[in-house]
Chains A and B, each alone.
Chain A
Amino acid sequence: MHNEVLIEVNNLQKSFGENHVLKDINATIHKGEVVVIIGPSGSGKSTFLRCLNLLEMPTGGSVIFEGINITDKDCDINQHRQKMGMVFQQFNLFPHLTVMQNITLAPINVKKMKADEANELASKLLTKVGLLDRADSYPKQLSGGQKQRIAIVRALAMEPDVMLFDEPTSSLDPEMVGEVLAVMKELAAEGMTMAVVTHEMGFAREVGNRVLFMEDGVIKEEGTPEQIFKNPKDVRTKEFLNKVL
């Protein structure tokens, strides 16, 4: 089913000074696919995700998004980031704006959407995540789970072609993890292309179409959740899964 390539990563490298974080990463993400990236902390999985929309500038290799090399120097990355929603571990909602303003700010200012059109879209999305009644609240008045659901809505309001999730549940209290994962599951069911860095193995197994296991800046193993969780080939994958499962 997933044939059309949305993101293609070729020989991706990233170093911070002497520290070689990503060593020659090759990967493709197809349209409609949910790719889950797992691995021990410090393995470079967040850096890899952040390289996809150039929040980290790769030091080598290329990222092709919708057929365009966005790592090219002449490429206007702002144009392409509009099509790549991102959700952060720390939510990063704008504290000086209401929930509604958080969501409509980029559509109005970046996409030049009309204000009432943006409000309507925001209301629709808020209804979907069950938070329409919080439209006029400020982020500090929300719980962690609510914040993250708003952050997802904020990214969705730009009507992106792919959603990047950087450990979206890692800073949540355990009882709030479920509500965020539920929204993500629904999104996946609707056919959204997603790349998810997470420690939630249940989510990876249940929702992922493909799992990448990263360690030491390389993709050690990749495959379907079935294959990775039931029958890992790489010895490091086995060790990692034994520890976390």
Chain B
Amino acid sequence: MNEIIASVNRYGALFLSGTISTLTLSFLTVLFGVIFGTMFAMMKLSKKKILNVPANIYIEIIRGTPIFLQLVLIYFGLPQIGVRFPNIDGFAFFPECMSALIALVMNSTAYVAEIIRAGITSIDKGQTEAARSLGMPENMAMKLIILPQAYKNILPALCNEFVTIIKETAIVSVVGYQDLMYAAQQVRIDTFKVFPPLLVAGAVYFVLTFTTSRLIAVLEKRWARSDA
């Protein structure tokens, strides 16, 4: 116990910056995941083969391969094909950050696309018909009628995706992104002690995910009430 407190005292700043990095990365991942996920969901729902086939292939491949493999492929693969992120003054480890973000967004997009697709298909067909009968073109009906309802329905699922992402981001420490897991590893190497840093990191992860889930549960209850 004392060792844990000592570890936090000495490396508190490192843990804190790691936690902030983890949260920032998770938030950006979900944000871009929702943007691209919406695009892929629409492509998958499209009747045009040229749109729905690529979306299907992408989603199946991403969901059918390990995220670790995807991350390493992006980190080492992008420079091989000529995509290099420059080192930026005042932004340490920019290339690592970009690789981590790209890999996570690519991964999350596939999962979020499925969530959004389910959200869209859950909206009654009569809603589209009513919108179209008023003369709305298809994309306007989607934007004004279907998506607002779909997003509201899937908000809990999206929040859960955020919780999942918080945990999954731990993997980006292997390519040198300085997240919470990376901080814990640094402290472990520095102190030759295994348990204190890892247990601290574990506790922080748990507090992050647990409070987020509780928050979702409370919000869900409130939404359910407003629907009554």
Contact, CB under 8 Å: B136 / A92? no
Give complex CA distance A88, B134 in Å: 12
CB under 8 Å from chain A, chain B span 132-146 = 132-137, 140, 144-145
Contact code string B96-140 (vs A, CB < 8 Å = 1, else 0)? 000000000000000000000000000010110111111111001
The answer, yes or no, to whether B227 is at the interface (CB within 8 Å) is yes
Contact, CB under 8 Å: B129 / A55? yes
A contact set with B: CB distance below 8 Å: 53, 55, 78-82, 84-86, 88, 90, 92-96, 105-106, 109-111, 140, 151, 154-155, 158
User: Interface extent on B, as a size class?
Assistant: 20 to 34
B contact set with A: CB distance below 8 Å: 124, 126-127, 129-137, 140, 144-145, 148-149, 152, 227-228
Give complex CA distance A84, B129 in Å: 13
7 interchain pairs (CB within 8 A)? A85-B133, A86-B130, A94-B127, A95-B149, A106-B131, A106-B134, A110-B134
Contact, CB under 8 Å: B140 / A92? no
Contact, CB under 8 Å: A110 / B140? yes
Contact, CB under 8 Å: B135 / A88? no
Give the residue name and chain of the A residue nearest to B228 (CB): A140
Given A55-B129, A88-B126, A95-B149, do A81 and B227 touch, yes or no (CB 8 Å)? Answer: no
Contact, CB under 8 Å: A94 / B130? yes
Give complex CA distance A154, B130 in Å: 10
Give the residue name and chain of the A residue nearest to B137 (CB): A78
Give complex CA distance A110, B132 in Å: 11
Contact of A94 among B133, B135, B145 (CB under 8 A): B145
Give the residue name and chain of the A residue nearest to B149 (CB): A96
Contact of B134 among A90, A140, A154 (CB under 8 A): A154
Residues of A within 8 A of B149 (CB): 94-96
Q: In the A-B complex, list the 5 residue pairs whose CB atoms are closest, starting with the nearest.
A: A82-B135, A92-B130, A106-B134, A86-B133, A92-B126
Contact, CB under 8 Å: B135 / A158? yes
Residues of A within 8 A of B152 (CB): 96
Contact of A106 among B124, B126, B127, B136 (CB under 8 A): B136
